Amino acid sequence: MTKLIVANWKMNGTLKNTHKFCQQITALAQETETKNTLVICPPAPYLDALRNDLKKSDIKIGAQDCSAALEGAYTGEVSAQMLDDIGCDYVLIGHSERRQQHKESNALFSKKIHQALDAGLQPIFCIGESDADYEANRTQDVLKEQLKALENFKKNKNIVVAYEPVWAIGTGKVASPEDIQNTCAFVEKTLSSEYALSPFILYGGSVKGENASSILSLPAVGGVLVGGASLKASEFWKIAIAV
Ligand code: 13P
């Protein structure tokens, strides 16, 4: 099965590095084929450069966030339509860093997902429990609550969900294959029974070249969302071809 391999560069990189990454990944893609779909989500100012550099490749581009509004007096915001306009196919919504640092809520995520779908983008809706929730065995309750943001999108085929345990992000601590499989299967079951959705479920949190194959081989995992290891083309490529 084709897997979805998504790079989230977060607020890292320079224009020079972006061009270098594109040159390197294009060369790697010419050497080895992959059946997987690759998506790169750089910081917004580099989207256009990335689109231009990758236009001859099959690699897609995505944004790390979009506005909950269509247009208007929203200083600093970028609308989903603008992202579509410059060639984005995907947009991350609900990343735990947005939840923690910007106090974004389910109601806001719902609006963002609505804008993304209306603009023809595929939202990648991120969910995940904190360390304290994990330790207290509250993972399933927390995820169920977070998934309520999808209440208005029943049966929508264009939604992707990424499960990223907060305690595994940028820490080098990866969830065990058993936890990843069980939790992704739980998300899948909840989405199908309560929202008639059957999206790709991605796993994210300290994914690297060395653990990508064991994670991507799990039956409930449709792909991965990669932070730190996606900044180097050679490391990201290892993940892209891991299965
Ligand atoms: P790391 O791969 O650096 O743990 O980050 C994961 C992440 O937050 C991707 O969105």
What span, in angstroms and rounded, lies between the C-alpha atoms of 235 and 212? 10
What span, in angstroms and rounded, lies between the C-alpha atoms of 242 and 138? 32
- Ligand 1 centroid – CA 56 distance (Å): 27
- Ligand 1 centroid – CA 213 distance (Å): 17
Residues with CB under 6 A from ligand 1: 8, 95, 164, 169-170, 204-207, 225-229
Q: Which atom of ligand 1 is nearest to the CA of 208?
A: 2
Residue with tokens 């499960």: 163
Tokens of 240: 């892209």
Ranges of H-type helices in the chain: 15-31, 47-53, 80-85, 96-102, 106-118, 131-135, 139-146, 177-195, 209-216, 233-240
Whether residue 150 contacts residue 157, with contact meaning beta carbons closer than 8 Å, is answered with no
Residue with CA closest to ligand 1 atom 1 = 227
Residue with CA closest to ligand 1 atom 5 = 227
What span, in angstroms and rounded, lies between the C-alpha atoms of 188 and 191? 5
Whether residue 59 contacts residue 21, with contact meaning beta carbons closer than 8 Å, is answered with no
What span, in angstroms and rounded, lies between the C-alpha atoms of 166 and 99? 11
The tens-digit pLDDT sequence of the chain (243 residues) is 899 999 999 999 999 999 999 999 999 999 998 999 999 999 999 999 999 999 999 999 999 999 999 999 999 999 999 999 999 999 999 999 999 999 999 999 999 999 999 999 999 999 999 999 999 999 999 999 999 999 999 888 889 999 999 999 999 888 899 999 999 999 999 999 998 888 889 999 999 999 999 999 999 999 999 999 999 999 999 999 999
What span, in angstroms and rounded, lies between the C-alpha atoms of 74 and 186? 37
